[in-house]
Each structure stands twice: as C-alpha cells, then as structure tokens.
Amino acid sequence: MTAPTIDLNADAGESFGRWTLGDDDALFQHITTANIACGYHAGDPATMRSSLIRARNAGIAAGAHPGYPDLLGFGRRALPATDSDVVDYILYQVGALAGFAAAEEVPLTHVKPHGALMGRICRSPGLAVTVARALQSVLPGAPLMFAPTEALRAVVEAGLPVIPENAADLGFDQDGINIVEPVPQAKEPATVADRALEMARGTVRTVEGTVIPMPVRSVCVHGDRPNAVAVAKAVRRRLEAAGFVVRAA
C-alpha cells in the first residue's frame, strides 16, 4: 500500500533591509516548500535572491508569495483595489522573483497569495480564475496555491493548475478560510501538529466547533511566528509518525 503524501509549506523571505524576521535557515530544515515574499508586504531584492539560494541549498521547493502593497500592515490589511489591480500586483511581484530565480537557476514551483490578498482570492471565484490564467503567461504550468473553496473549484473547472492548501497555525471560519492574525503569537506546537494531521486526513474544526471538509495537498505554518521553527518541527514529526510522506506537492 502506497503511503499518503503531504506538503509542508511556510511563508519565508519576509525580512526587509536591516530588519530580520524569522529564522529561515532553521525553518527550511523542517519544511518542504517555501513561499518567498516578493517585496510588497515584505522582502526586498537582496532578501528575495538570498531566500531562493537558501531554499535551493536546503533542497526544498520555492514559489512566489505576492501580497498587497502594504509594508506597514504586512499585507494583512484588506486594501481597496480593483480586480485588475490585483492581477497587476501579482504579476509584478511574480515577475520580479522569477528574474532572481532564473539568475540562480531555481525553478519556481507555485504562487501562493499572502494574507488579506489570499482571503480576497479565496472569496472571489472569478478573480481566482483570472489570476490563475494570468500566471500561465509568466510561469507556464505553475499552480496557484490557496484554500479549497468555491474559488478553487472554479479554477479547477477552468482547467488551470492549483494546489489546495491551508494553514494549520490559524483558526478557520465556516467557509474553511483562515482567520488572519494581525500580530502572530507563539502557538503550542503540539496543538498545531494535531490540526495539521487532521487537515492532512481531510477535515478541520472551525472556531465555531464545526467539523468541515479540508481536502488539502499542502499544510502551511507561518515563518513569522515567534516559535515557527518549533511548530514546523512538531508538525513534520506528527505527520511522519502518522505514516505520511512529507514532500513538496
């Protein structure tokens, strides 16, 4: 019998200039996919390049993590923007990271929206399809990674590549969408690991206590959490102990 597989992804490359956020080198020892900030909510050119190099050296997959142009709010505030604006924001950021990726010979495996931008795409089937289609002109074959929602189903029905994922270190609303945490706090690693295993098995419990379907191929932990490395380590151990092969999607 073939062992089930699951990807463990984390948002990374979120330092800026002289300001360092997270410990990507340690984090990359436990995850299988890194979502690299592209300069709008976090990151800068040097950090984008160095994050790709770190991912390559760690032997993990790397993708783009575009957000709203909101350094002050770390991309976790919903900004007024048209759908056309959103597409342009994403293509601009993905194109920038793709340039560094080509220079460092690192293939970009996916695009995962960040924060409030992720929430908007999850709730907007038409926008999700438009974004997924636009990405094919920049990164042919690259999937859009986001939550299993009606929007994701619309992308699948349009014949465009996707990777269903969600974060195990955040709560869930009744639609199966993560509830944004404006200021990340330390989380109990064992609790997050329990939720990650539940998700890997196809369900999750919402903040209201309802168990809902959660058919993900990738589970996320956030690299900007104070104890992110401990959380990622606990999640991976729990998944592997339950018989999952943890590898890039």
The whole-chain average pLDDT of the chain stands at 96
Domain extent for 125: 5-246
Evaluate if residue 200 carries a pLDDT over 90: yes
Counted domains in the chain: 1
Q: How far, in Å, CA of 235 to CA of 38, rounded?
A: 26
**Residue 225: partners with Cβ closer than 8 Å, 6 or more residues away:** 169, 184, 185, 186, 187, 231
pLDDT tens, residue by residue, 204-223? 999 999 999 999 999 999 99
Q: C-alpha angle 24/114/165, rounded to 5°?
A: 85
Strands 211-213 and 162-167 come out as unpaired
**Mean pLDDT calculated for residue range 163-188:** 91
CATH code, domain with 34: 3.20.20.370
- Determine the Cα–Cα distance for residues 147 and 154; give it in Å rounded to an integer: 12
pLDDT by residue (tens digit) across 81-114? Answer: 999 999 999 999 999 999 999 999 999 999 999 9
Provide mean pLDDT across the span 171-192: 90
**CA–CA dist 142, 63 (Å, integer):** 9
The Cα–Cα gap between 25 and 23 comes to: 6
Return the axis-axis angle of helices 83-104 and 45-58, rounded to nearest 10°: 60
**What pTM, to 2 d.p., does this model score?**
0.95
